[in-house]
Amino acid sequence: MAKNLLIVESPAKAKTIEGYLGKDFTVKSSYGHIRDLVKSEDAIDIAHNFEQKYEVPADKKQIVSDLKKLAKEADMVWLASDEDREGEAISWHLYETLGLKESNTKRIVFHEITKPAILRAIENPRKIDYNLVNAQQARRVLDRLVGFELSPVLWKKVKPSLSAGRVQSVAVRLIVDREREVNKFKSEAAFKIVALFGKAKEAFKAELPERFAQQDDAEKFLLDCVTADFDINSLETRPAKRSPAAPFTTSTLQQEASRKLGYSVSRTMQVAQKLYESGLITYMRTDSVNLSDTALNAAADEIVSAYGNKYHQQRKYKTKSAGAQEAHEAIRPTYFNQHSIDGDGSEKRLYDLIWKRAIASQMSEAQFEKTTAKIGISTRKEELVANGEVMKFDGFLKVYLESSDEDDEPQQDGENSMLPPLTKGQRLALQEMSATERFSRPPARYTEASLVKKLEELGIGRPSTYAPTISTIQNRGYVVKEEREGKQRAFRVLTLKSGNITKEEKIENTGAEKGKLFPTDIGAVVNDFLVLYFKGIVDFNFTASVEKQFDEIAQGLKEWTDMIRKFYDPFHKDVESTIQTADKATGERELGVHPVSGKKISVRIGRYGPFVQVGENATDAEPEKPLYASLRSGQSIETISIEDALELFKLPKKVGLFEEKDMTVAIGKFGPYIRHNSAFYSLPKGIDPLDVTEEQAIELILEKRKKDAEKLIKAFDEDPTVKILNGRWGPYIEFGKLNVKIPKGKEPLELTFEECKALAAIAEKEPKKGAKKFAKKK
DNA sequence: CAGTGAGCGAGCTTCCGCTTGACTT
C-alpha cells in the first residue's frame, strides 16, 4: 500500500502526476468540489453568523467514500487542489469530510503540471490557508443569498421558475442594453470617394479621408475631378511592426474558436476537454497567459528547428484581466513538436489553433514597410490618400494571425495593399473615381464568445462558468441565439469614367444576423425589474467591488461575516420591500386604438408569453371579452408596430370544408399550419398562410395521410394508441406518449401487444437523462 | 408541438464555481 495519498481536482491531472511520483504515491482526484451548501432554506443560518450547512451531493458520495478509505490507509495525505480561492476551499472540504488530522495532512500547490514543479511543491508543503477559505465561503454564501432571495421575488412578480444571480443577471443586462442601443440607432449615410489610378499591374486605389453627407457635394467633387490634374504631393515610408497575441486562456480560446472555426462556446469546451483528456493540451479552464519554463524551452526548440533562429523570440505575457487567479498555465500543446494530431475533424482543428497560437506567441514580430502617398487635386484643396504595405519579415505571421470581431467589416479600399513604385511630384492618370453611399453601422450584437469577452473584462464569471452561464440565460428563456434576415436597402453610386459621370442605384442586404444573442421579452422585463428594484446587484461593477472585499478577506484584513452582514442586511430589506410594494411586471405597452372599433390595443407578457390584447379586460358592467393574439418569433413587445399587431388577428382563418369538418389556417410555434379535425398539417415554405386555398389545404392533408400510412408497420386492436412505426432512426414503438426503442434482434413485425407493453413498462421505469433535462426546462 | 390570457392553491422552481460523464437529436 502506498504511503502517500495525493489528491488533485482533475482525474487527467492525477494520471499525469502519478507518472512523475513513482510507487510511494497514490494520486487520486476529487472531481472538483466534494461538498456544497444544502439545497434547502436552512443552508445558511443568517442569525448565527451565516453558519453553513454542507452536504455531499449524491454524485460525489462514491468518490468521497473511496477517498476516505485511501486516506485511512495512507501515512500522509497531500491536498493538491488548485492554488486559488476555490481550490483552497476544496482542500478544506476534503480535510473536514475525510476526517483528516493536521499531523498527517499537507497542503501543496503548483501552477503547472511538470515534474520539477510537482517535486518542488512536495518539498514545500504548507497548511490550509483559512483566510483564503473564508474568502471562498464569502463568495459562496453571497451567491446563494443573492440567487435564492432574488429568484423567488421574480416568481412572485414576473413568472414562476425564473432565476436571477450575480453573474447571469448582468449577462442578460448586457444583451438587453445592447439590443436597445441597436434599436435606437439612427444610421447616417455619407458618400465615400475612391479613386483608381494607373493601369493593369500598376493600378492602385486612393481614398478621400473626408466623406460627403450630401449627394450634391459628392457630385460636385467628381465634377471638379473631370478636368483636374493629380500629382503626388508627398510620399512617406515608415517601418511598422506587429507582435503576436498571448497564448490562449479559456476566454480567448472561446473567442478565436468562434471567429475562426464557428464553434459555440460549449462546443469549444467539449472539444478542448477531449484534447486535455488525451494528454494533448494543458488544462483548458484557465485565466492565465503564463507558460512554464519547460514550455518556453520546448517552444523555442521547436521554432528554431522548424523555422530557424531568427523566428524565435522569447516572450512572457502578463495577464490583464481583473480577478485572474492564475492557478494554471495558459492553454498550450503538451508537446510542441507535435504539429498535428489524430482525432476527429473538430479536435484536429482546435488543436491546430492552440498549437499555432502558442507557438506564435514565442516568435518574432512581423515587420512591414508602410507607404502613404498623398495625392493633390488641382481643382480642389482636399488630398486623396493611398496606403500601401509590404511585409519585410513575416515573423510569427508564418504560423498564425489572430482574428478580430470586426472581420465582417468590408475590407477598406486602399488599405494593406501593395503600391507600385511612386515618386514625389509624379503625375497620375485617373482611371475611375466613384462616390459610394455608405451607412454608419449600429453597435454589434453579442455573440456567445464576445459576451464571454465582455464578462471577462468586467471580471464577472470564471473560466469554468462562461459556457454554463451562456446556457443558463438561454435555458431560462431570457436570451435566444438566432439568425435574423436582413432588409434590402438601396444605396447610390456615382461613377466618373472617361470624363462622364453616371449615377445608379444599387441594392444591398443589411442587418442580417447569424448566431447573435437577442433578448426575449421575458428577458427584457426581468432585466428592467431588477434594474428598478436591485440596481446594486445588476450594476456592472458589483462583482468587481465584492471581489475587492474577497481579496481583503483572503489577505486576512477583513472578517468575512462582517462583509456579508454589511451586504445582506440592506439587501434583504430591499427584497422585503419589493415583495410588499412592487407591482407585477408584465412589460405592458399601449400601442394605440383600433382604427375601426376604437378599442385599446396593448402588448404585454402573459402566462404563455408575449401577446396583443384588443379591448379592455371584461368586467361585470362590460362583459365582452377582449381579443388576444400571441406575438410571433422575431417580434417583441418593445418594437412591434400597431400595424403588425393588427396583422396577427387575421389568423386563424377558415379555409374551407373537408370531410364535413372545418379547415383553419394559423401560425404556431413551428410555423404556419392547417388544422383539420384536431390534427395539424404544416404548410410548406413559400405559401403565405393568408392566401391558402381550400384545394391546397385538402391536398396537404391527403399528402400527410399518405406519408403517415407508409410510416405504420403494425397497429394493435387492443389499444389504438399503441403502434409500431418507422421513424428517422428505424422502427420504434409508439406507446401512447412514450416512444420505445426496439431491442436488437427483434423483428418489429412479430412483436405482440404484450411484448410492447412490457418494453414500454421497462422504458418508463428508467427515464432518460435527456428527457429529464427537457422536463426541467419546461 | 400548434388553442390559451380570470383566480384559487397545492408543490415546485432558484445561485456560482469546481470537476466529469452519460446522454441524445
**Which nucleotides of strand B lie within 7 A of protein CB?**
1-6, 11-25
| Cβ–Cβ < 8 Å for A93, A54 | yes
A555 to each of A129, A323, A422, A734, how far by Cα in Å? 10, 14, 63, 62
Sequence letter at residue A539 = D
C1' (B4) to CA (A225) span, angstroms: 67
- The 10 Å Cβ neighbour count of residue A546 is 20
Asked if residue A741 has pLDDT above 80, the reply is no
Asked if residue A712 has pLDDT above 70, the reply is yes
Q: Which of A608, A604, A575, A630 is nearest to A477 (CA)?
A: A608
Contacts 24+ apart (CB under 8 A), A701-705: A701/A658, A701/A663, A701/A674, A701/A676
| Cβ–Cβ < 8 Å for A244, A363 | yes
User: Is the shortest CB-to-strand distance from A626 to strand B under 7 Å?
Assistant: no
Q: β-strand A513-519 against A500-510: which pairing, if any? A: unpaired
Q: β-strand A661-668 against A671-676: which pairing, if any? A: antiparallel
Asked if residue A528 has pLDDT above 90, the reply is yes
C1' (B10) to CA (A160) span, angstroms: 14
pLDDT tens string A341-363: 999 999 999 999 999 999 999 99
C1' (B7) to CA (A486) span, angstroms: 43
Residue A271: CB partners within 8 Å, gap ≥ 6? A263, A346, A347, A350
Please state which of the ranges A233-247, A401-415, A467-481, A545-559 shows the lowest mean pLDDT.
Answer: A401-415
pLDDT at A409: 47
Please report, for chain A, how many H helices and E strands are present, in that order: 21, 31
A 22-51: CB within 7 Å of strand B: 29, 31-33, 36-37, 39, 41
Is the previous residue joined to A623 through a cis bond, with omega within 30 degrees of 0? no
pLDDT tens string A256-266: 999 999 999 99
Residue A506: CB partners within 8 Å, gap ≥ 6? A490, A491, A492, A493
Residue A245: CB partners within 8 Å, gap ≥ 6? A252, A357, A360, A361, A402
Please, what is the average pLDDT of chain A?
91
Residue A551: CB partners within 8 Å, gap ≥ 6? A135
Of all residues in chain A, what percent carry a pLDDT higher than 90?
A: 75
Interior CA angle at A368 toward A365 and A372, to 5°? Answer: 145
The three cell numbers of residue A451 are 459576451
Of all residues in chain A, what percent carry a pLDDT higher than 70?
A: 96
pLDDT tens string A585-616: 999 999 999 998 889 999 999 988 999 999 98
Q: What are phi and psi of A4, to 5 degrees?
A: -120, 135
User: Is the shortest CB-to-strand distance from A606 to strand B under 7 Å?
Assistant: yes
C1' (B1) to CA (A683) span, angstroms: 14
User: Is the shortest CB-to-strand distance from A649 to strand B under 7 Å?
Assistant: no
pLDDT at A729: 67
Alpha-carbon gap, residue A355 to A352, rounded angstroms: 5
Span A503-522, mean pLDDT? Answer: 96
Asked if residue A717 has pLDDT above 90, the reply is no
A171 to each of A460, A474, A478, A523, how far by Cα in Å? 9, 11, 10, 11
pLDDT at A773: 36
Span A654-679, mean pLDDT? Answer: 84
User: Is the shortest CB-to-strand distance from A477 to strand B under 7 Å?
Assistant: no
Alpha-carbon gap, residue A267 to A257, rounded angstroms: 9
Q: Which helix (H) or strand (E) holds A757?
A: helix A753-765
- Name the nucleotide nearest A161; use CA and C1': B13
pLDDT at A755: 79
Q: Which of A95, A263, A276, A283 is catalytic?
A: A283
pLDDT tens string A71-107: 999 999 999 999 999 999 999 999 999 999 999 999 9
A304 to each of A272, A364, A397, how far by Cα in Å? 27, 11, 15
User: Is the shortest CB-to-strand distance from A608 to strand B under 7 Å?
Assistant: yes
Asked if residue A321 has pLDDT above 80, the reply is no
| Cβ–Cβ < 8 Å for A76, A1 | no
pLDDT band at residue A750 under the 50/70/90 scheme: confident
pLDDT band at residue A719 under the 50/70/90 scheme: confident
C1' (B13) to CA (A499) span, angstroms: 73
pLDDT band at residue A732 under the 50/70/90 scheme: confident
pLDDT at A416: 57
Please state which of the ranges A12-21, A391-400, A463-472, A628-637 shows the lowest mean pLDDT.
Answer: A628-637
What 3-state DSSP class applies to A504? strand
User: Is the shortest CB-to-strand distance from A682 to strand B under 7 Å?
Assistant: yes
Residue reference for cell 510620399: A235
A 283-322: CB within 7 Å of strand B: 283, 285
Q: Which of A280, A303, A530, A513 is nearest to A398 (CA)?
A: A303
| Cβ–Cβ < 8 Å for A139, A166 | no
Residue A754: CB partners within 8 Å, gap ≥ 6? none
pLDDT at A197: 97
DSSP state of A512: -
pLDDT band at residue A679 under the 50/70/90 scheme: confident
Asked if residue A767 has pLDDT above 90, the reply is no
State the nearest residue by CA to the C1' of B18. A32
User: Is the shortest CB-to-strand distance from A372 to strand B under 7 Å?
Assistant: no
User: Is the shortest CB-to-strand distance from A666 to strand B under 7 Å?
Assistant: yes
Residue A232: CB partners within 8 Å, gap ≥ 6? A373, A374, A375, A376, A422, A423, A424, A425, A426, A428
User: Is the shortest CB-to-strand distance from A88 to strand B under 7 Å?
Assistant: no
pLDDT at A81: 97
C1' (B18) to CA (A207) span, angstroms: 54
A 522-541: CB within 7 Å of strand B: none
- Name the nucleotide nearest A283; use CA and C1': B19
pLDDT at A283: 97
pLDDT band at residue A737 under the 50/70/90 scheme: low
Higher confidence at residue A723 or residue A522? A522
Residue A31 annotated to the active site: no
Q: Which of A444, A452, A409 is nearest to A518 (CA)?
A: A444
Asked if residue A765 has pLDDT above 80, the reply is no
pLDDT at A728: 66
pTM to 2 decimals?
Answer: 0.90
| Cβ–Cβ < 8 Å for A364, A333 | no
